[in-house]
């Protein structure tokens, strides 16, 4: 049993203010490691033989490496192909979600909405679509209440750990750190046992990938890249048709 864990920062326990992420707050990074290690311990105690983990926030470089559970292997590529299931730790809700902490999809500055086959999706659905193309389900998610609800909406009856509640876009009310750690551990431990029950999130192909930007100049800049597979639909919206999902970039714009 091989488990892949992808992490983000916005849904990590104890992070209650957007500025804690933007300034790489030491406490926030320590909470990232605590949440990640709780999921790793839960995975092994639940029966996993191998756990690999990727630092998925802002291109990486957020892990305090000496704090990472030594049984897990950190990777920096696309390792999902040969895993049995995926966990997501510290994730956030998609752009436009009410009562969600730091809701956004991909870029909190330039992207307004992202769609797969006409359905508004977020970063959880992106990983779900990629792993689902290889028959691998998302079985565990931790984050704020809105993120956990979104995970169940997209992936079904999976295990979730709600570690805080969004109060507007930049503030959150966090549960106690030790309780958050316990919830993540329990969700991860029990998630291993449902890997055969949860259906992978499969995208119907060929898929329409569409992005609506926040402003026309962001769309202008994107079109200046000169990609031949991109069609501009209006002042702020572009789309392309994706025939296969073989690498992670296939479900991005």
Q: Is residue 106 part of a domain?
A: no
pLDDT, average across residues 184-188: 98
In sequence order, what DSSP letters do the residues of 206-243 get, joined into one string? SEEEEEEESSHHHHHHHHTT--TT-EE-SSSEEEEEE-
Distance CA 149, CA 173 (A): 17
pLDDT at residue 22 is higher than 90:
no
Return the structure tokens found at 202: 């499969």
Return the structure tokens found at 61: 């470089």
The DSSP call for residue 180 is H
Q: Is residue 129 part of a domain?
A: yes
Q: Is residue 244 part of a domain?
A: no
Domain carrying residue 69: 2-94+122-194
For residue 135, the domain's CATH number is 3.40.50.10780
Domain count, the chain: 1
**Lowest mean pLDDT segment, chosen from 21-30, 61-70, 87-96:** 21-30
Q: Is residue 28 part of a domain?
A: yes
Distance CA 40, CA 38 (A): 5
Is the pTM higher than 0.85?
yes
Distance CA 216, CA 110 (A): 10
Q: Is residue 71 part of a domain?
A: yes
Q: Is residue 14 part of a domain?
A: yes
Q: Is residue 207 part of a domain?
A: no
Alpha helices in the chain (DSSP H): 18-22, 26-46, 123-132, 145-155, 177-191, 216-223
φ/ψ (deg, to 5) at 66:
-70, -15
pLDDT at residue 238 is higher than 80:
yes
Nearest to 41 by CA among 192, 195, 197: 192
Taking only the tens place, the pLDDT of each residue in 41-58 is 999 999 999 999 999 898
């Amino acid at each position: 049993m091989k488990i892949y864990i992808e992490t983000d920062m916005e849904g990590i326990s104890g992070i209650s203010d957007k500025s804690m992420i933007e300034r790489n707050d030491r406490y926030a990074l320590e909470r990232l490691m605590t949440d990640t290690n709780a999921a790793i311990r839960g995975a092994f105690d639940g029966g996993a033989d191998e756990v690999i983990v990727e630092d998925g926030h802002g291109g990486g470089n957020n892990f305090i490496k000496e704090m990472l559970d030594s049984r897990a292997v950190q990777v920096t590529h696309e390792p999902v192909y040969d895993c049995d299931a995926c966990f997501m730790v510290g994730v956030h809700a998609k752009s436009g979600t009410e009562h969600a902490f730091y809701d956004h999809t991909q870029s909190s500055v330039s992207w307004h909405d992202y769609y797969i086959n006409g359905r508004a999706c977020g970063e959880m659905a992106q990983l779900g679509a990629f792993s689902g193309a290889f028959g691998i389900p998302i079985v565990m998610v931790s984050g704020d209440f809105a993120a956990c609800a979104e995970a169940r909406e997209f992936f079904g009856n999976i295990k979730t750990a709600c570690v805080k509640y969004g109060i507007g876009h930049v503030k959150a009310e966090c549960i106690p750190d030790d309780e958050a750690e316990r919830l993540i551990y329990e969700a991860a431990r029990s998630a291993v046992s449902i890997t055969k029950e949860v259906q992978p999130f499969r995208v119907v192909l060929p898929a329409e990938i569409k992005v609506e930007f926040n402003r026309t100049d962001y769309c202008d800049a994107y079109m200046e890249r000169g990609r031949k597979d991109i069609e501009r639909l209006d002042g702020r919206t572009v789309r392309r048709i994706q025939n296969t999902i073989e690498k992670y970039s296939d479900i991005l714009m």
